[in-house]
Amino acid sequence: MSVTARDFAVLASMTPEPTTRPRLDDVDIDKLRQHMMVIRRKVQAGQYVYRAGQPFHALYLVHAGFLKSCELARDGREQVTGFRMRGDLVGVESIGLGQYSCDLVALEDSELWELPYPPVLLACRELPELQARLTTALAEEIRRDRLWMLSLGTLSAERRVAAFLFDVAQRHATLGFSPRHFILRMGRADMGSFLALKHETVTRALSRLAELGYITVQRREVRVLDTAALARLAGQGEAIH
Amino acid sequence: MSVTARDFAVLASMTPEPTTRPRLDDVDIDKLRQHMMVIRRKVQAGQYVYRAGQPFHALYLVHAGFLKSCELARDGREQVTGFRMRGDLVGVESIGLGQYSCDLVALEDSELWELPYPPVLLACRELPELQARLTTALAEEIRRDRLWMLSLGTLSAERRVAAFLFDVAQRHATLGFSPRHFILRMGRADMGSFLALKHETVTRALSRLAELGYITVQRREVRVLDTAALARLAGQGEAIH
DNA sequence: CGTTTGGTTGAAAGCGATCAAGCGAGGTGG
DNA sequence: CCACCTCGCTTGATCGCTTTCAACCAAACG
């Protein structure tokens, strides 16, 4: 049985309300609404939410959909630095710079809540807990980046891909989706860019993980058969004492 | 002419007051002092300022010396994620976690100002500009990390080492030291860990850069002969249009 | 001094990149 | 509805850079 375009569409539309709360929860948003205009913004697949160099004016909370952020160098080098989904706060990396430092691109039709930044800063003065939340969100971002640096710096291609799948599975679980069965929203090239690998290498690693019986993969559809094995490869397994 | 132990000692003692201000300047510190006890803490080379897992209680402002921060995984993998010098604010990556998320190790005798965190948070409420400064410091940390991710993901070993030297030179210049002549405070292994390379590869890259006439290097003493060439290799050169 | 530690260099191996070909799904236009 | 085209994915063969393994050297230290 193979996956058809229709299957993709059906799976993509399976977007139930998550059972666990996102990082910036509804309570925060309600409080924010009392202090500023929260603008709903929709973007289609392929469109940019913001681009490096554009004036920084707002943070965004991803409400639905899937996006990637891309770092780019003056000489044309470019790398995906993260994938964003519901509950992720984006744009924080550009605070204090005056302009966005990277691109944010929708990989599928998405909806974001735009939080104009000066009002956010003002609201933080009124709501100390919001300030703490924002600071914590920034710190978490640093920790996530550092963990990926560690993974990219110390894991082989195959283990990096395993770590990626494990991370995707965990994030899905956090949002109330199945961590055992999901559709990757990005292509092999974007995965590779994020993992500092070429797309052929990503393909080979996926094939190998399937060969080992840890997953099944058909184009973008992934089933995780052995979570523990993935975790072990990712370096997240139980330590041996 | 080779460098003797005495030369090292002399150079190491050349620590004039910087002519440019560090990221958290004296004005901020004075204001902080009005709100909390700022504790001066000295650490000797090799000592830990904090270790991953210890309870998080303070941020630190590096006042003198040189340190590295190390990320570690449960399975023993480990990587240097950054080098810290005067003016750098460290510990921010651990905010909101309850415990430090990484190790901070002195590479030479250093002095840090300990800023107990709950007081910092309280002071932020009284001093909005301090809050903005802290938030900006966090965002800058994210941007730095992302730029290194880009470099590590897209540059060859030789270019990574060039980028590292260029960065060291720039940071030295920022602190009022010579960007053309400096002593590396870390060994080849730590450089390699940060750059995701083995120490032999770092050595070879340095030898090659010297062979090309861009630098001279004798153990830890580096002279930059061609800054533009380093910048170009680092991907920071002028873009061609 | 002898020992240890960190750095350098060479030779060989291994892993991921590169180059190339082929495949399948989806979309388009006849 | 089908032929064709395109794009993303897969797989194979080869190349080359980085790692690995090993030896050696210089400086620091006791």
CATH fourth-level superfamily of A16-145: Jelly Rolls (2.60.120.10)
The pLDDT of residue B140 is 96
The helix (H) or strand (E) run that includes residue B173 is helix B157-174
B155-233 shares the fold of B17-140? no
More confident position, A13 or A177: A177
Q: Which of residues 129-188 of A touch strand D (CB under 7 A)?
A: 187-188
Which residues 174-193 of chain B have a CB within 8 Å of chain A?
Answer: 193
pLDDT for residue A36 = 74
Whether residue A231 is predicted with pLDDT greater than 50 in this model: the reply is yes
pLDDT tens for A60-73 read: 999 999 999 999 99
Residue B79's SS3 state is strand
Mean pLDDT check: name the lowest of A88-92, B30-34, B184-188, B234-238.
Answer: B30-34
Confidence at B32, pLDDT banded by 50, 70, 90: confident
Q: Is the pLDDT of residue A55 over 70?
A: yes
B43: CB partners within 8 A, 6+ apart:
B49, B65, B67, B106, B109, B110, B111, B112
- Give CA–CA dist B83/B75, Å, rounded: 23
Nearest residue of B to residue A138, measured between CA atoms: B138
Q: How many CB atoms lie within 10 A of CB B70?
A: 20
**Bases of strand D lying below 7 A from some protein CB:** 8-13, 17-22, 26-29
pLDDT value at residue A144: 97
Q: Is residue B144 pLDDT above 60, yes or no? A: yes
Residues 187-206, chain A: which have Cβ under 7 A from strand D? 187-189, 199-200, 202-204, 206
CB atoms under 10 Å from CB of B187, counted, come to 14
Position B9 confidence tier, pLDDT thresholds 50, 70, 90: very low
B196 touches strand C (CB under 7 A): no
Q: What are phi and psi of A38, to 5 degrees?
A: -100, 115
B14 and A CB contact within 8 Å: no
- For the cut 90, the answer to whether the pLDDT of residue A52 exceeds it is yes
CATH superfamily of B17-140: Jelly Rolls (2.60.120.10)
Interatomic CA–C1' length for residue B216 and nucleotide C4, angstroms? 27
Check if B150 contacts A (Cβ < 8 Å). Answer: yes
Nucleic strand C near CB of residue A3 (< 7 Å): yes
The 10 Å CB-count burial string (b at 16+, else e) for B128-148 is eebbebbbebbbbbbbebbbb
Is-contact B104 B60, C-beta < 8 A? yes
**The two three-digit tokens of residue A180, written as one number:** 């055992």
At position A24, the amino acid (one-letter code) is L
Q: Strand ranges (DSSP E) for chain B?
A: 39-43, 48-50, 58-72, 78-85, 89-90, 103-116, 181-183, 215-218, 221-224
Encoding tokens for residue A43?
């973007």
The single-letter code of the amino acid at A35 is: H
Look over chain A and give the mean of its residue pLDDT values, rounded to a whole number: 88
Residue A85 confidence (pLDDT) above 90: yes
pLDDT at A28 over 90: no
Q: How far apart (Å, rounded) are the C-alpha atoms in residues B209 and B202?
A: 11
CB proximity A14 to B under 8 Å: no
| Mean pLDDT of all residues belonging to chain B | 88
pLDDT of residue A6 exceeding 60: no
Quickly state the pLDDT bin for B26 (edges 50, 70, 90). low
Tokens of A219: 């184009």
| Partner residue facing A92 (CB), from B97, B124, B139 | B139
Confidence of residue B121 (pLDDT cuts 50, 70, 90): confident
CB of A44 nearer than 7 A to strand D: no
Closest CA to A192 of B204, B63, B153: B153
pLDDT at B122: 86
Residue A138 forms contact with B (CB below 8 Å): yes
A156 touches chain B (CB under 8 A): no
Assigned token pair, B159: 């270019």
From the list B136, B235, B238, the residue facing A73 with the nearest CB is: B235
- The C-alpha of B7 sits at a distance from chain A's nearest C-alpha, in angstroms, of 34
Residue A172: per-residue pLDDT:
95
The minimal CB distance from B152 to the residues A128, A152, A237 is found for: A152
Q: Which of residues 53-92 of A touch B (CB under 8 A)?
A: 71-79, 81, 92
Q: What is the pLDDT of residue B10?
A: 39
Name which of A126-135, A174-183, B157-166 the model is least confident about: A126-135
Which among A196, A132, A120 has a CA at the least distance from the CA of A164? Answer: A196
Q: What would the two tokens of residue B125 be?
A: 């409420």
Tell me whether residues A97 and B135 touch, CB distance under 8 A.
Answer: no
Give B148-165 pLDDT, tens digit per residue: 999 999 999 999 999 999
Contacts of B163 in chain A (CB under 8 A): none
Q: Assign B127 a pLDDT band (cuts: 50, 70, 90).
A: confident
Q: Is residue B89's pLDDT more than 70?
A: yes
Enter the tokens of residue B49: 């300022």
Chain A residue closest to B75 (CA)? A239
Protein chain B, residues 188-207, with a C-beta closer than 7 Å to any atom of nucleic acid strand D: 196-198, 200-201, 204
pLDDT digit string (tens) for B214-232? 999 999 999 999 999 999 9
Q: What is the model's pLDDT at position A26?
A: 57
pLDDT (0 to 100) of residue A16: 42
Residues 6 or more apart from B153 whose CB is under 8 A from it? A79, A152, A193, A196
Q: Is the pLDDT of residue A10 over 60?
A: no
Q: What is the pLDDT of residue B132?
A: 86
Higher pLDDT among residues A87 and B13, named by residue: A87
Which of 1.20.1050.10, 1.20.120.1200, 1.10.10.10, 3.40.50.1000 would CATH assign to domain A155-233? 1.10.10.10
Asked if residue B36 has pLDDT above 80, the reply is: no
d(CA B114, CA B39): 5
CA angle, B135 as apex, B130 and B136 as ends, to 5°? 95
pLDDT band at residue B133 using 50, 70 and 90 as cut-offs:
confident
Q: Which of A93, A124, A136 is nearest residue B131 as measured by Cβ atoms?
A: A124
Rounded CA Rg of chain A: 19
% of chain B surpassing 70 pLDDT: 87
Rounded to the nearest 10 degrees, what angle do helices B188-195 and B199-211 cross at?
Answer: 100
Instruction: Please indicate whether, in this complex, the C-beta atoms of A239 and B75 are within 8 angstroms of each other.
Output: yes
Instruction: Confirm if A164 and A80 have CB atoms less than 8 A apart.
Output: no
Per-residue pLDDT tens over the stretch A12-26: 434 444 444 446 665
> Please, are residues A116 and A36 in contact by the beta-carbon 8 Å criterion?
yes
Q: Protein B89 CA to nucleic acid D3 C1', in Å?
A: 65
A185 compared with A24, residue with greater pLDDT: A185
pLDDT at res. A239? 59
State the amino acid at position A26 in one-letter form.
Answer: D
In A122-224, the DSSP E strands lie at 181-183, 215-218, 221-224
pLDDT digits (tens, 9 = 90+) for A88-121: 999 999 999 999 999 999 999 999 999 999 898 8
Residue A125: predicted pLDDT: 83
Do residue B81 and residue A146 have CB atoms under 8 angstroms apart?
yes
Residue of B nearest to A145 (CA): B145
**Taking a contact as any Cβ pair under 8 Å apart, which residues of chain A between 198 and 237 contact chain B?**
235-237
Q: Which sequence spans correspond to the domains of chain A?
A: 16-145, 155-233
pLDDT level of residue A155 (50, 70, 90 thresholds)? very high
B95 near A CB under 8 A: yes
